A and B are shown apart, each in its own frame.
Chain A
Amino acid sequence: MKSPSLSTTAYAGASNGESSERPPFLRMRGLCKSFGHVTALSEVDLDLREGQVVALCGDNGAGKSTLVSMLSGVIEPDDGTIEVDGQPTYMTSPLRAQELGIATVYQNLALVEQRDVAANMFLGQEPVRLGVIVDRARMVDEATRVIQRLRVGLPSVRTLVGDLSGGQRQAVAVARAMLRGSRMLLMDEPTAALGVRESRRVIELIQEVRSEGQAVVVISHNMEDVFDVADRIVVFRLGRKIADEERAGLQREDLVSLLVHGCRSEEAGER
């Protein structure tokens, strides 16, 4: 368990020098995953620290969503290890990941259209009275509170998700993760369907969550968002990690070049 004397805020923007003092919240070593003939991820090492925002970048099919699914217990790695607080951990189910305080915004959102916003936000985690009876009043209250914090334009948390626009649905998925993640938030393209104002708000919220000491992983194709919010930028290409840099150490051109050519701009120029 973590010692209370180690304030999580001390890790905001943690540099490599501090890393020896305490294991990162989550450490991945040699993660591999194949789907039939397709190698989605191979030999991925990655550390995720509390109070740090890591942006995962890479082309479509680079393996970013696969990595997120592994960390949220939806798929199991073929090979490799995951440690949480230095302890070897098997993310055998989404429930296991949730118990560890990990919440996810899935790329496909994972919402039930026929249920309302409040029910979706508490899906699988419904608060109960007397052991079995769903506490609707509490669900509606808490869902409303988070939605308001997110400043989403929603008529009511009693609206069916099937009646919402794409952007509103994405906001509900983000709100659900905010409600549940106590130690780490995984966000797979959380702003893809959002308007400019909503995207800004999500970026602000990621910053708030970081300052509360959570680890955040965000996948985005939006350069501006990535450079605004990320403390570290990790680039994937064809299932391999090809770069893992502090934001300060990475120029915008470098990132573009990494994404396009798979190497840095000066190297690309040399070829």
Chain B
Amino acid sequence: MSAEAIEAGRTAPPGRLRRLQSLRAGRVLALTAVAVGLFLYFAISAPHFLSSANLFDIARVSAFLLIVAVPMTYLFIALQLDLSVGSVYGFCAVLMGVAVSSWGASLWVAAIVAVAAGAAVGIVNGVVTQVIGVPAFIATLAGFSLFRGLANGIAGGNPVTYVDARGHGFSSLANGTFLGGVPSQAAWGLAIFVIGWFVLRFTRFGSHVYATGGNEAAAAATGINSRRVKFVLFVMSGASCGLVAALQGGWLLQGDPSTGTGFELQVIAAVIIGGVAITGGAGSVYGTLLGVAIIGMLSNGLVLMGVQANWQQFYVGLLIGIVASAEVGINRRNDVRRMIRRMWRARGTAVSTGRADRPSGQKRS
């Protein structure tokens, strides 16, 4: 790097200099536009989409996704992931049922049991990944199978119902409405979103999450305990599964061992559509909110338009493919450009800005 380069850096127009920064802002803006566009499209073409009952329905369904997607966003930023969330959701749902029907606990106590069980599973995931050192993908894949099996085994394959449970105060907290029909699930989702957004953006812990995924060696060299950060994230993820299980239990008054089947993929889809950096170190809870909203509107709107439910997965998959390709394509745009140029055999003086994409070369474990 020559002295001239630094001089050039000082005088270069901001447009050229702040490429990463503007790309990132552009992505959030584009995602917001997609969400708003989708909303307008369905508002115009899907009958009853705009009715308050339907919008509340979307909110109710999306809230559970959001509650688990917030900690998943943290995990992705820190270059980790949790594949066990769907199974832990089911396990906690069954455990809540057992607490009420077998131990005679009230709904309140059972709800606390569910959340505590989720957090305990998170501690196990944290120990296996951060203390023993098993890669998160493998450790939580084991949990994915283990906790579904445990849920099925405990419940004997059938839902545990508890319609005559005590403590209906919790039931109304989990499934009531307020302010003229807003479902309480939506309020829970909103609360988790606000807390999650605030902590990631404004607290020291949030900064350490970004640093851990951005460059773990740098985080360690400056005294950040990245292992502890990641451990806490797994506990948060587990506890969030317990929370959705408790909310669902208070609503349906049963614990079905198949609860949350495929849920982990929906959560991860929402996080990726929300624009978290697949290579870690960047992403936002706001983006995840948009990802959740997009998935929620898609599945609801397509049904209202008469598209078969079977096709929903196709559209969600299409969206993930497009978003991921766009992100990777933007990050590697110089390579892509060069490749296209080579294909056309027009080899002019290739302009390389020469910035290595990821010198640290970290991989999601």
Name A's B-contacting residues (CB within 8 A). 72, 74, 93-95, 98, 104, 106, 108-115, 119, 123-126, 128, 132-134, 153-155, 159-160, 162-168, 193-198
Contacts and interface: CB of A to CB of B under 8 A. Distances in A.
B19 A110 contact: no
Binding site secondary structure of chain A: loop
A110 B204 contact: no
Contacts of A113: 20, 214-215, 281
B282 interface: yes
Contacts of A123: 207, 211, 218-219, 222, 224
B17 A114 contact: no
B363 to A, nearest CB: 16
A98 B224 CA distance: 12
Nearest to B216: A112
Binding site secondary structure of chain B: helix
A114 B218 CA distance: 12
A200 B218 CA distance: 26
A153 B20 contact: no
A98 B17 contact: no
A134 B202 contact: yes
B214 A94 contact: no
Contacts of B20: 113-114, 160, 162-163
Contact of B221 (A110, A160, A163, A166): A110
A193 B7 CA distance: 14
Given A163-B21, A165-B5, A115 B221 contact: no
Contact of B1 (A72, A98, A194): A194
Given A132-B204, A153-B6, 6 more contacts: A74-B221, A112-B214, A112-B281, A115-B210, A123-B222, A126-B207
B6 A167 contact: yes
A162 B8 CA distance: 16
B352 to A, nearest CB: 14
Query: Number of contact residues on B: which range applies?
Result: 35 or more
Contacts of B202: 133-134
B223 A98 contact: yes
B215 to A, nearest CB: 5
B281 A114 contact: yes
9 contacts: A74-B220, A110-B218, A112-B211, A124-B219, A124-B222, A126-B207, A133-B202, A167-B1, A198-B6
B1 A94 contact: no
A126 B10 CA distance: 27
Given A123-B211, A160-B21, A164-B9, A94 B220 contact: yes
B164 interface: no
A240 to B, nearest CB: 26
B6 A159 contact: no
A163 B282 CA distance: 14
A132 B215 CA distance: 22
B205 interface: yes
Contacts of A195: 1-7
B3 A124 contact: no
A112 B219 contact: yes
Nearest to A192: B1
A65 to B, nearest CB: 12
